[in-house]
């Protein structure tokens, strides 16, 4: 998307008899900056919507819009929308069911545990996405989340990282099933928008 936007901007710049406006040149510079600094190919496919958002907001001269912030906000909105039906309370309830309290039938495989040893928490999406951007990794690397819960960290890595594969491994069957439900929604709504990467959830 970035390459196409850049090519179109350059074509317009070369073919136009008018001198490009300062705003057009500024936008082209921003595109080139993103091409050289952005860490995740996945964000390219989300950038078009963010640029469209900026164009609509920029129609009002009272707003000064930052492209970087728009893209970050777009990614966070997409991630949050995956979990609209599965909030923190839903996931926490799935982690501590009556089956678990009665002796662990909610647990995948053969594991010895006490209820106090199973603590459920959620990541802060914004902070975690920033952390992923700050950690160098190669496009052939695999992202693992041990104790992946409802899968939020796995999908955060999927949206902002260049990982070849993103895998979540969860002990509790109910949480694994919740993550699998979110994965079904992801495949339907988002997979076609992004470059191919495998997302997998394992209950073990």
User: Are the beta carbons of 142 and 167 closer than 8 angstroms?
Assistant: yes
- Here the contacts of 144-147 (C-beta below 8 Å, separation 24 or greater) are 144/168, 144/169, 145/169, 147/171
Average pLDDT for the chain: 70
Contact 160, 43 (CB under 8 A): yes
Per-domain boundaries in the chain = 2-77, 85-203
Per-residue pLDDT of 137-170, as tens digits, reads: 877 899 999 999 889 899 888 888 778 899 999 9
3-state secondary structure of 144: strand
Q: What share of the chain in percent tops pLDDT 90?
A: 9
**Average pLDDT of span 173-185:** 88
Per-residue pLDDT reduced to its tens digit, 54-111: 666 665 555 555 666 766 777 788 888 887 776 654 555 655 554 454 455 555 655 5
Please give the structure tokens belonging to residue 126: 């914004």
Structure tokens that stand for 134 in this block? 């700050």
- 46-55 pLDDT tens trace: 666 666 666 6
What share of the chain in percent tops pLDDT 70? 46
- Distance CA(25)–CA(19), nearest Å, equals 10
Tokens of 31: 């595109």
Q: Which token pair is 171? A: 């002990």
For 73, phi then psi, to 5°, come to -65, -40
Contact between 152 and 199 (Cβ < 8 Å): no
Task: Yes or no: say if 186 and 38 are a contact pair by the CB < 8 Å rule.
Answer: no
Topology of the domain covering 85-203: Rossmann fold (3.40.50)
């Amino acid at each position: 998307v970035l390459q196409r936007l850049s090519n179109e901007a350059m074509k317009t710049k070369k073919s136009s008899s008018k001198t490009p406006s300062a705003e057009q040149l500024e936008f082209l510079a921003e595109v080139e900056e993103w091409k050289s600094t952005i860490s995740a190919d996945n964000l390219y496919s989300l950038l078009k919507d963010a640029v469209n958002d900026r164009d609509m907001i920029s129609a009002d001269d009272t707003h000064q819009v930052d492209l970087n912030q728009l893209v970050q906000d777009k990614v966070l909105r997409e991630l949050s929308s995956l979990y609209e039906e599965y909030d923190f309370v839903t996931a926490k309830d799935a982690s501590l069911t009556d089956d678990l309290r009665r002796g662990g039938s909610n647990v995948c495989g053969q594991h010895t545990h006490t209820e106090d040893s199973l603590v459920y928490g959620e990541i802060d999406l914004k902070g975690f996405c920033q952390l992923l951007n700050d950690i160098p990794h190669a496009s052939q690397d695999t992202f693992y989340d041990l104790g992946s819960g409802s899968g939020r960290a796995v999908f955060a890595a999927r949206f902002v990282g260049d990982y070849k594969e993103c895998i979540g491994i969860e002990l509790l069957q109910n949480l694994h099933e919740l993550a699998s439900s979110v994965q079904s929604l992801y495949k339907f709504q988002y997979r076609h928008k992004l470059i191919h990467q495998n997302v997998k959830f394992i209950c073990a």
